[in-house]
Amino acid sequence: MENTETSKSWEKARNICIVKTLAKLGHFPSRTTEKEAWFLSPLRSETQASFSVSLVKNLWYDFGIGEGGSTIDLIMLMKSFSVKEALEYLKNNTETFSFSPSKPEDRLKQAEIRILEVELIYLQGLVDYLKSRNIPFEIAAKYCRQVWYSCKGKRFFAIGLKNHKGGWELRNKYFKTSSSPKTYSLFERGSKQLIITEGMFDFLSLATIDEDLVQNSDCIILNSLAFVERIKMLIPKYEKVLIYLDNDPAGKKAASSLLNQFDNVTDCGDSYSGYGDLNEKLINEGCFKKSLTLK
């Protein structure tokens, strides 16, 4: 009897939407087609999306490791769970544990971020969140907005940074996500110097530490290392390019790629060595101004 019940649970759980499951865990598509959604792999670090989800078959495949399967297989790998633990996790953590296969277009709608309203930052929760990241309100207010958005039928608010195609990077104390289209953010001031940071809070941290440097430079916030290739065409027009990427294997690999291809690139990662990124150092040490441009 127990085997029969387990078999039924397995078959039902296989039909849980993978895109919705990934969204619940904070992973959203980098791009979509009629039949597929492409993600940065939730199983490893990468800079270009090579994790595919079939919206027709509701199956995933990670081209980087050559593995794939159902929602159950994905949770087992992501959480290091047994089959029984994965089934229990899906049953307890899926808001609507619906076992009937959904249409491809429905799977995308379930994870879709919809922007509702954009306004000046005023909510105390967001002001407190900025304070927890050591970002002055005045700095955030220059570059970011308070964004109301919906996801899976619920309404949320976040600090938002707009990208150059109109999408938004969204951050609050509890959630990190983005709306479509996802790409890099760009501030152009006609400068001959370009600053490249990996994320929103790296950029806000740099503006906090050295506002003159940021104000006198063109700035790119990658929003994902997946967009390094996209911004390479912009680099040759600048006399100097300063990069502030995370001090992790993916960030170091991207920095090395830029340094090898362009003579005008300077890696500023050593200015926050010992920390994962610029914001982590700002949080731990407060404002500092030590060799940020490695002059």
Q: pLDDT for 208-219, tens place per residue? A: 999 999 999 999
Query: Is pLDDT at 98 greater than 80 in this prediction?
Result: no
Query: Is pLDDT at 220 greater than 60 in this prediction?
Result: yes
Query: Is pLDDT at 87 greater than 50 in this prediction?
Result: yes
Query: Is pLDDT at 164 greater than 50 in this prediction?
Result: yes
Whole-angstrom distance, CA of residue 13 vs CA of residue 34:
24
Query: Is pLDDT at 14 greater than 90 in this prediction?
Result: no
Give the best-scoring range by mean pLDDT among 4-13, 155-164, 175-184: 155-164
What domains can be seen in the chain, in order of their start residue? 1-96 (3.90.580.10), 109-183 (no CATH), 187-288 (3.40.1360.10)
pLDDT for the residue 96: 39
Percent over 90 (pLDDT), the chain: 47
* pTM listed for this prediction: 0.63
| Residues 234 and 205 sit within 8 Å (Cβ to Cβ) | no
Query: Is pLDDT at 68 greater than 60 in this prediction?
Result: yes
pLDDT for the residue 126: 94
Mean pLDDT of 110-129: 88
pLDDT band at 168 (very low <50, low <70, confident <90, very high): very high
Q: Which residues contact 101 (CB under 8 A, 6 or more apart)?
A: 15, 58
pLDDT for the residue 108: 44
Looking at the DSSP bridge assignments, the partners of residue 156 are 149
pLDDT for the residue 216: 95
pLDDT band at 1 (very low <50, low <70, confident <90, very high): very low
Mean pLDDT of 187-195: 96
pLDDT band at 162 (very low <50, low <70, confident <90, very high): very high
Average pLDDT, the chain: 84
Six-digit token pair at 81?
Answer: 């769970």
Query: Is pLDDT at 37 greater than 70 in this prediction?
Result: yes
Q: In Å, how far are 85, 119, 284 from 132, measured between CA atoms? A: 35, 21, 11
Whole-angstrom distance, CA of residue 42 vs CA of residue 276:
19
Mean pLDDT of 31-46: 83
| Residues 30 and 40 sit within 8 Å (Cβ to Cβ) | yes
Mean pLDDT of 252-266: 94
Amino acid at 148: W
